[in-house]
Amino acid sequence: MTSVSAEHQALHHGLTIVHTALRRSLDTVASTASKPVPEADRAGFADFCERTAKFVRAHHDSEEEIFFPVFEQAGLAEQIKTWRGDHAALLDELDQLEAAIAAFQARGDHERLAASATRVRALLFPHLDAEEAGLDIAVLQKAVTTEQAAALATAASKHGQKHVGTRGLMLFLHALTAEEQRAHFGKMPWFVRKVLVPIWDRNYRPCARYAHNATISL
Ligand SMILES: [Fe+2]
Ligand SMILES: [Fe+2]
């Protein structure tokens, strides 16, 4: 294989690290909701669930809007057709999950939330696995130029800033190990890492007990 450009590596890393954060966050939603949640923790857990659902939706919207059209043009149309079908089924279940989160927040029981999160997980995880298998670095190298890879990564980052916002960013960061945080976000400007992230992190406190990693190490 020819050497892999930094742009292709960054694109591949970006796609897979989001999947890692989605898997961990959804696992936490499903496992926490499988047992009664203490009343004092209801608001914080509902907040965590709401961020997770929004993160799942934003990731799939960004693929539909940014990545899939480019991959369709690059000879992967059959594959993308299958994944668009996965997304349609997934987004239906995600509507149900959002309704279950709202009901839980308004004093509803945890069982509906657990059942819904488990259904989303059953659709989502095989889909993420399929995307990772189908978009490995060799496929990406063949499908897009270095310039396209850089443009896709930039467009995805902008989409995330617009649709996930700082609440989603905090969920994302806390779903990663220290090493993963630094690999994906270590190049953000000093002012963002050292000043803004700690400020944004304050609104994550109600969710902190559900974090994969309680600490941000940027
Ligand atoms: Fe997807
Ligand atoms: Fe994906």
Name the residue type at position 195.
V
Q: What tokens appear for 1 in the block?
A: 């294989």
Q: Which ligand is nearest to the CA of 84?
A: 1
Domains of the chain (ranges; CATH) run 6-210 (1.20.120)
Q: Report CA(45)–ligand 1 centroid distance (Å).
A: 25
Q: What is the pTM for the complete model shown? A: 0.94
pLDDT in tens, 113-136: 999 999 999 999 999 999 999 999
Q: Which ligand is nearest to the CA of 135?
A: 2
Q: Which ligand is nearest to the CA of 23?
A: 2
d(CA 192, CA 181): 14
Q: Report CA(15)–ligand 2 centroid distance (Å).
A: 6
Q: Report CA(19)–ligand 2 centroid distance (Å).
A: 6
Counting residues of the chain whose pLDDT is more than 70, the rounded percentage is 99
Q: Which ligand is nearest to the CA of 123?
A: 1
- CB count within 10 Å of CB 190 equals 8
